[in-house]
Structure 1
Amino acid sequence: MWFALGTFTADGTTFPGLVVDDAVVDLRPHLGDGVTVEGLLQDWDATLAVLHDLAEEAGDLPSTALADLRLLAPFRPTQLLCAGANYFRHVRQIVASTLRNGGDERSEDDLQAEADRIAHARAASGTPFLFPGLPSAVTGPEDDVVLWGPGVQHDWELELGVVIGRPAHRIAPGEAVDVLAGYVIGNDISTRDVMARPDLPMTDFIMSKSRPTFFPTGPYLVPRECVPDPRQLRLRLSVNGQVMQDDTVDDIIYGIEELVSYASHAAVLRPGDLLLTGSPAGNAGHHGNRWLVPGDVIAAEITGLGRQRNRCVAPRAERAT
């Protein structure tokens, strides 16, 4: 059966809840008043057994309609890691648009051939690309996204996130699935025109990707047992109703097992860590540099993991003027 775990607010009170169909069971009466999703992840095996039992009894337990609750980010990750350039079609589009915007005068066929060569070189290298994010950027699946300056080229990146449920360090790809608690939706908002530092030959991922509200997460943490084949999940994102991204995880270059293994060789992974697996094709550069602006509404979903709806707004000082 399908069920999920989330964090909700009602009447000024925040609590963790078990989601079954369109109802939410408050977990406090069953697991204690101080229970949080972050705490439940620390002993995920025991938590999962309890959630299974409660999900089977959910029809007989007091619950609240999902529509009557405010959805928060399901949990606050302890560490946040992101995979970059990890979908074939996405890499092709990035390369082609970058060359074109940089004044490359080759024919479209030649640009696409070069983009294809680079995309396949990513896979042949055998090395994923990971970078850290700041957990303070995490916001809820229905919260406003503040389009902070400097920079105006604000972009979207819908991603499948994997949540760590057991400690992991230097594990093999074959062991990776066993350390996962489940899956979650993430949108890695990025300001493209501040990524390159004019004063340093470096990429600034903190300024461009980790500003407050730049990481809508949720609505739920869905246990991996409820997702039989994550490569078949479809990611779909629209802006003001126009579809921008629509692809399946199957286009991924380095899969979940490879990413988790690689991350575990760079860091000690612990329960409550979140790893984003990369974004599919269809970013703003592919859509004629159609950057996000205040007033835009981003709607995002991944098969079986729920939906997000985030409104883009200007920083408060700019709104006041």
Structure 2
Amino acid sequence: MTNGMTLPSHALTAPFALARYRTGEAVQLGLVAGERIRPLSATDLAAPDLNAFLAAPAWERLAELASESEGWMPLADVTLTAPVEPRQVLQAGANYRQHVIELVAAGLTQKSDRTPEEARAAAAKIMDDRKANGQTYFFIGLPTAVVGDDVPLVLPAYSDVHDWELELAVVIGREAFRVSRDEAMSHVAGYTIVNDITTRDLVFRPDMKEIGTDWYRAKNAPGFLPTGPFLVPAPYVDGGNLAITLDLNGQRMQDSSTSDLMFDIPTLIAGASQNMPLLPGDLLLTGSPPGNGQHWQRFLRDGDVMTGGIEGLGAQVVRCVAEERTA
């Protein structure tokens, strides 16, 4: 459950997970086990806050707390919010082959003199060459866009083409700087779900196409990174083989698996860490599978409800509200 709606089959399967929930105006870190939640203190964590705990996560300590019988509340009685407080958000681009082919064929390109079939073939060749010979590709998101699904997604009035991109997000544990692929997974604390919202008509600059993409305007409006509801410890997750789905008003739009990632999680972490240290609690989004609104030619509207789930990580329900247009 989360926030009063029945969720799909992507139940939380780990013996416990972390979550954050609202208590009046404050937010409390909690331990989730089954359909129960209990507050976690700095003493419970043996760390002053969540990110300090994630730097050296003592999951065994929390496993012991999860086995205790006192101090629990029904999970249904609390309002969950984003389970993380990242200082940095890195987003992997073009990391599902079919997703990029779909976007190019649907017209999301600066080159418009090709037929859809020609565009699809060209995109397929580029992606195959990139997988064989290319490198990871990242852009930076703003932590201020990270919210829980308790916050409605306000669709900015400056566009009518706001799109969804459900993604598996890696939560960084101990700091990772210039780590190798072989070392990378030792820097993973856990995983969560992020819906990376994108305003499609702002991706390319019409006033100066030569400068490429404008991810700042296209992706960083308030609430454009709905996250959670759980942070699931890495020992209980095979991040390389998880079912991932998104339903829009009950209709399946995305249905894929993280096994289709072009660059896997260790490669992404190693690549991202070459330029900047990844800090405890940071989010590394792994890319979106196919089935976005650009493919369906159906974008988000007032009243839409997105239900996104990833196998073993739970599910989130995001309600869309149109921003009032000014005269």
TM over 0.5: yes
1:63 aligns with 2:72: yes
> In the alignment, which of 56, 59, 62 is matched to residue 51 of structure 1?
62
1:176-219 per-residue CA deviation (whole Å, 9 max, x = no partner) reads 00000000100100001011112333311111101110000000
The match for 1:265 is 274
1:121-149 per-residue CA deviation (whole Å, 9 max, x = no partner) reads 22123301100000000110232111114
The CA deviation at 1:282 is 0.5
In 2: Cα distance, 1:203 partner to 1:105 partner:
20
The one-letter code matched in structure 2 to 1:270 is L
The match for 1:312 is 320
The match for 2:197 is 189
1:205 aligns with 2:218: no
Q: Which moved more, 1:148-157 or 1:258-267?
A: 148-157
The match for 2:104 is 95
In 2: Cα distance, 1:298 partner to 1:99 partner:
22
Q: Which moved more, 1:96-105 or 1:15-24?
A: 96-105
The match for 1:144 is 152
- Tell me, yes or no, if the aligned pair for 2:303 and 2:321 is still in contact at 8 Å: yes
1:245-299 per-residue CA deviation (whole Å, 9 max, x = no partner) reads 0000011100000000000001111111110000001011211x10111111111
> In the alignment, which of 287, 292, 309 is matched to residue 300 of structure 2?
292
The match for 2:235 is 225
In 1: Cα distance, 2:116 partner to 2:198 partner:
29
Q: Compared with structure 1, are the counterparts of its residues 35 and 66 closer, same or farther at alpha carbon in structure 2 (3 Å cutoff)? A: farther
The CA deviation at 1:39 is 3.7
The CA deviation at 1:10 is 3.4
1:135 aligns with 2:143: yes
Higher helix share: 1
The CA deviation at 1:23 is 0.4
1:50-107 per-residue CA deviation (whole Å, 9 max, x = no partner) reads 212212x24x122011110000100111110000110011122122222799755647
- Tell me, yes or no, if the aligned pair for 2:106 and 2:116 is still in contact at 8 Å: no
Q: Compared with structure 1, are the counterparts of its residues 312 and 33 closer, same or farther at alpha carbon in structure 2 (3 Å cutoff)? A: farther
Q: Give the RMSD, CA atoms, in angstroms.
A: 2.3
Q: Which moved more, 1:98-107 or 1:214-223?
A: 98-107
Question: Matched residue of 2:240: which SS?
Answer: helix
Question: Matched residue of 2:51: which SS?
Answer: helix
The match for 2:19 is 6
The one-letter code matched in structure 2 to 1:231 is G
* Count of residue pairs brought into register by the alignment: 312
> In the alignment, which of 238, 245, 255 is matched to residue 247 of structure 2?
238
In 2: Cα distance, 1:218 partner to 1:107 partner:
36
The one-letter code matched in structure 2 to 1:254 is F
The CA deviation at 1:35 is 5.3
Q: Which moved more, 1:267-276 or 1:254-263?
A: 267-276
In 2: Cα distance, 1:220 partner to 1:103 partner:
42
| 1:241-252 alignment runs, 5 A limit | 241-252=250-261
Question: Matched residue of 2:90: which SS?
Answer: strand
- Tell me, yes or no, if the aligned pair for 1:236 and 1:243 is still in contact at 8 Å: yes
The CA deviation at 1:156 is 0.3
The match for 2:164 is 156
Any stretches of 5+ residues in structure 1 without a counterpart? none
The match for 1:126 is 134
1:40 aligns with 2:53: yes
The one-letter code matched in structure 2 to 1:176 is A
In 2: Cα distance, 1:221 partner to 1:65 partner:
18
- Provide TM-score, normalisation by structure 1: 0.90
1:300-321 per-residue CA deviation (whole Å, 9 max, x = no partner) reads 0001111111111122x43x99
1:144-173 per-residue CA deviation (whole Å, 9 max, x = no partner) reads 111114222100000000011011111110
- Tell me, yes or no, if the aligned pair for 1:3 and 1:226 is still in contact at 8 Å: no
Aligned structure 1 segments of 4 or more residues deviating by more than 4 angstroms = 32-35, 99-105
The one-letter code matched in structure 1 to 2:216 is I
In 2: Cα distance, 1:107 partner to 1:70 partner:
45
The match for 1:19 is 32
- Tell me, yes or no, if the aligned pair for 1:142 and 1:308 is still in contact at 8 Å: no
Question: Matched residue of 2:85: which SS?
Answer: coil
- Tell me, yes or no, if the aligned pair for 1:6 and 1:74 is still in contact at 8 Å: yes
In 2: Cα distance, 1:53 partner to 1:130 partner:
38
- Tell me, yes or no, if the aligned pair for 1:7 and 1:37 is still in contact at 8 Å: no
The match for 2:226 is 216
The one-letter code matched in structure 1 to 2:271 is Y
- Provide TM-score, normalisation by structure 2: 0.89
